[in-house]
């Protein structure tokens, strides 16, 4: 089998497929974790997910991340530090409390936090917040290290990884079944192809003659100078949940602040659909900084040392595509996770491996079918897969 893409999702697919005894070749046009994975924060979250199929995935994936953490020899900066979601107004707190109540019925640990609780959880938070919810299950990893570790373990099981090689065709034989891929370095025979190309997965799907309405959703992150540990959890405001679930193409920002093991603080989050435009937007960065200072006033005296941006693979219903494509025999997908790819990578990899080997999946895959958009597919980003992979 061939996996297209060496981000954290493709790496997880390679890891679980190789462990299942399958022959695996990973083909990546750029570098390992060089796309969305390398532009993310490494969040493993249940706090931002409403009850439903994605929360089922997230809970299953958190369990797998905990299992992987026990086995990880290399340091991927796994931190089960928990999350804190805050509300500035009573109305915001009422909505947040309603969400937390519904999440608990799914097995999420969601602990109400009043002003005194918030001060204990995060001593440097601004005073006067209406309240919040503490999510002990939220965690974080360093995403690039995680992808590299998963691929290293896959290699130990016999997988091959080809970087700097573009997939330019998906070959189909009698009856339309997948029989391999054509790459910029030659042809690879395979009885299955896994599309884990992140933001470019729509273009990869098109090589097999099917449509996936994946579009890039740009986001920016500010990085501060290294500091003592002043932010203990991933902390964000209630608007973040609404922005994650929004389908607006316009700019949306919410306050997200979290520390890293290296001492820097990451500040987000923004979302907008502008194609693959990589222009650095100073106004967006200024808005993110102002929002962060309102939540953590000490940040007003802290220097930002850099900013980076990336593209989340957005789908209209905010659910990924996972498993076999009923339209093309031998084609599988592991894409469209938007901003949750790192958190959902292990469960996605295990589900794809189960589908490849014909074993019972741990999560019902019907909500993640690839053909669910066939009657209503919006256009993809403005640049082609080959143009983007040649970046």
Kindly state the DSSP code that residue 225 receives in the 8-state scheme: P
Q: What is the pLDDT of residues 261-276, one digit of tens each?
A: 889 999 998 999 999 9
Lowest mean pLDDT segment, chosen from 64-73, 187-196, 284-293, 294-303: 64-73
Q: How confident is the model at residue 243 (pLDDT cuts 50, 70, 90)?
A: low
**List of residues 6+ apart from 63 with CB closer than 8 A:** none
**List of residues 6+ apart from 287 with CB closer than 8 A:** 253, 270
% of the chain residues with pLDDT over 90: 87
d(CA 118, CA 363): 35
Q: How confident is the model at residue 71 (pLDDT cuts 50, 70, 90)?
A: confident
Helices (H), the chain: 8-19, 53-71, 90-104, 115-121, 143-156, 201-207, 239-245, 282-295, 341-357, 385-389
Average pLDDT, the chain: 92
**List of residues 6+ apart from 181 with CB closer than 8 A:** 2, 4, 27, 167, 169, 170, 171, 187, 188, 190, 193
Residues 202 and 213 sit within 8 Å (Cβ to Cβ): yes
d(CA 230, CA 113): 19
> Does residue 197 carry a pLDDT above 60?
yes
Give the residue among 136, 135, 131, 123 at the shortest CA–CA distance from 86. 131
d(CA 292, CA 226): 16
By three-state DSSP, how is residue 306 classified? strand
Q: How many CB atoms lie within 10 A of CB 352?
A: 31
Which DSSP string do the residues of 333-388 spell out, in sequence order? EEE--GGGHHHHHHHHHHHHHHHHHTPPPSS--GGG-GGGGTTS-----SS-HHHH
Give the residue among 1, 12, 58, 3 at the shortest CA–CA distance from 349. 12
Q: What is the CATH number of domain 83-137+216-314?
A: 3.30.9.10
What was the pLDDT predicted at 73?
Answer: 62
CATH class of this structure's domain 2-71+142-214+317-389 = alpha beta
Q: What is the pLDDT of residues 130-156, one digit of tens each?
A: 999 999 999 999 999 999 999 999 999
Could you tell me the residue ranges of all domains in the chain?
2-71+142-214+317-389, 83-137+216-314
d(CA 159, CA 349): 14
- Helix (H) / strand (E) element for 257: namely strand 252-259
Q: Give backbone dihedrals phi and psi of 102, rounded to 5 degrees, phi first.
A: -70, -35
> Does residue 277 carry a pLDDT above 60?
yes
d(CA 188, CA 242): 43
> Does residue 18 carry a pLDDT above 50?
yes
* Radius of gyration of the CA atoms of the chain, in A: 20
Taking residues 333-352, what's their average pLDDT?
Answer: 97
- Tokens 């997988």 — which residue? 159
- Dihedral sign, CA of 70, 76, 81, 87? negative
Q: What is the pLDDT of residues 35-47, one digit of tens each?
A: 999 998 999 999 9
pTM: 0.92
Domains 2-71+142-214+317-389 and 83-137+216-314 share a fold: no
């Amino acid at each position: 089998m061939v996996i297209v893409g060496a981000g954290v999702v493709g790496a997880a697919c390679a890891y679980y497929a190789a462990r299942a005894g399958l022959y695996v070749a990973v083909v990546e046009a750029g570098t390992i974790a060089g796309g969305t994975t390398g532009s993310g924060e490494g969040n493993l979250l249940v706090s931002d997910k409403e009850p439903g199929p994605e929360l089922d995935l997230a809970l299953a994936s958190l369990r797998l991340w905990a299992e992987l953490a026990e086995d990880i020899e290399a340091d991927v900066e796994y931190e089960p530090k928990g999350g804190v979601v805050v509300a500035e107004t009573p109305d915001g707190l009422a909505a947040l409390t309603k969400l937390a109540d519904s999440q608990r019925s799914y097995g999420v640990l969601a602990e109400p936090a009043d002003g005194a609780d918030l001060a204990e959880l995060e001593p440097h938070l601004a005073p006067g917040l209406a309240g919040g919810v503490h999510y002990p299950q939220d965690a974080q990893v360093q995403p690039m290290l995680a992808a590299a570790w998963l691929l290293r373990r896959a290699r130990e099981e016999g997988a091959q990884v080809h970087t700097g090689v573009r997939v330019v065709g998906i070959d189909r034989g009698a009856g339309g079944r997948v029989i391999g891929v054509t790459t910029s370095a030659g042809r690879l025979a395979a009885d299955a192809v896994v599309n884990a190309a992140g933001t470019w997965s729509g273009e990869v799907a098109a090589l097999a003659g099917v449509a996936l309405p994946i579009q890039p959703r740009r986001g920016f992150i500010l990085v501060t100078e290294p500091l003592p540990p002043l932010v203990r959890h991933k902390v964000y405001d209630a608007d973040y949940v609404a922005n994650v679930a929004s389908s607006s193409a316009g700019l949306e920002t919410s306050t997200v602040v979290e520390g890293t093991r290296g001492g820097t603080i990451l500040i987000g989050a923004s979302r907008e659909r502008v194609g693959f435009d990589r222009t650095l937007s100073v106004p967006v960065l200024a808005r993110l900084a102002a929002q962060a200072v309102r939540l953590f006033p000490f940040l007003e005296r802290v220097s930002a040392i850099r900013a980076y941006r990336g593209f989340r693979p957005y789908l209209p219903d905010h659910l990924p595509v996972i498993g076999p494509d009923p339209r093309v025999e031998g084609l599988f997908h592991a894409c469209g996770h938007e901003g949750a790819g790192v958190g959902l990578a292990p469960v996605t990899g295990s589900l794809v491996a189960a589908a490849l080997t014909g074993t019972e999946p741990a999560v019902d895959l019907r909500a993640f079918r690839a053909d669910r958009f066939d009657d209503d597919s919006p256009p993809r980003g403005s640049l082609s897969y080959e143009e983007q992979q040649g970046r």
